[in-house]
């Protein structure tokens, strides 16, 4: 019995430690990664990495709203049941972030907006087109991560201020 348990445990660990599954966080099947890879002309491993970065990027934008006490975007994405809700919510978050940034304002007191990169948003929308269930799970993950980003926002704002002072920027 011990051998059977050990064998099952080893199989389970190999599932979670395969490079492709680790990079895609188990949310996206190899088939879906393959479809996206063909669409982007990239390797599946690269698409998995792009997806991980897109989740972090969108979570970073949403985290600014969370820190400002504006939870509606995160709540809507976490509970989204269709592409339309995700598209509308991302559109509103992007529009508010961009217009607030351009006006030189903050979301709330000292919370500066962050605008997610176009490529990040495009990848998430493409994922929703290819596989709605995986896309919704990925968007939910971004929403959950946004709730954990409070501590890191200050550090990111300091880095952004340094980049802007040096002539760089996002």
In a domain, 54, yes or no: yes
Confidence of residue 157 (pLDDT cuts 50, 70, 90): low
135-148 pLDDT tens trace: 999 999 999 999 99
In a domain, 11, yes or no: no
**Which range is least confidently modeled, 16-30, 35-49, 90-104?**
16-30
Confidence of residue 19 (pLDDT cuts 50, 70, 90): very low
Rounded average pLDDT over 17-40 = 75
In a domain, 7, yes or no: no
In a domain, 47, yes or no: yes
Instruction: Read off φ and ψ for residue 108, nearest 5 degrees.
Output: -165, 115
Domain count, the chain: 1
Mean pLDDT rounded to a whole number for the chain: 84
Rounded average pLDDT over 152-168 = 58
117-133 pLDDT tens trace: 999 999 999 999 999 99
In a domain, 14, yes or no: no
Looking at residue 52, what is its pLDDT? 96
In a domain, 163, yes or no: no
Q: DSSP string spanning 32-99? A: HHHHHHHHHTS-HHHHHHHHHHHHHHHHHHHHHHHHTT--HHHHHHHT--SHHHHHHHHHHHHHHHHH
Domain limits for position 74: 27-156
pLDDT of 62 above 80 = yes
Instruction: Read off φ and ψ for residue 103, nearest 5 degrees.
Output: -80, -5
In a domain, 104, yes or no: yes
pLDDT of 154 above 90 = no
Confidence of residue 70 (pLDDT cuts 50, 70, 90): very high
């Amino acid at each position: 019995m011990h051998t059977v348990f050990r064998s099952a445990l080893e199989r389970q660990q190999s599932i979670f430690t395969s490079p492709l599954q680790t990079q895609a966080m188990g949310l996206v099947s190899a088939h879906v990664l393959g479809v996206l890879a063909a669409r982007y002309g990239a390797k599946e491993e690269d698409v998995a990495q792009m997806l991980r970065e897109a989740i972090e990027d969108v979570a970073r934008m949403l985290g600014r709203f969370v820190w400002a006490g504006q939870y509606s975007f995160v709540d809507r994405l976490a509970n989204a049941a269709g592409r339309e809700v995700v598209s509308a919510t991302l559109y509103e978050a992007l529009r508010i972030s961009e217009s607030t940034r351009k006006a030189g304002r903050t979301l709330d007191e000292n919370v500066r907006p962050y605008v997610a990169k176009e490529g990040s948003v495009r990848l998430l929308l493409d994922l929703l087109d290819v596989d709605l269930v995986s896309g919704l799970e990925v968007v939910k993950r971004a929403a959950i991560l946004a709730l954990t980003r409070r501590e890191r926002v200050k550090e990111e704002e300091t880095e952004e201020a340094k980049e802007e002072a040096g002539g760089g920027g996002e």
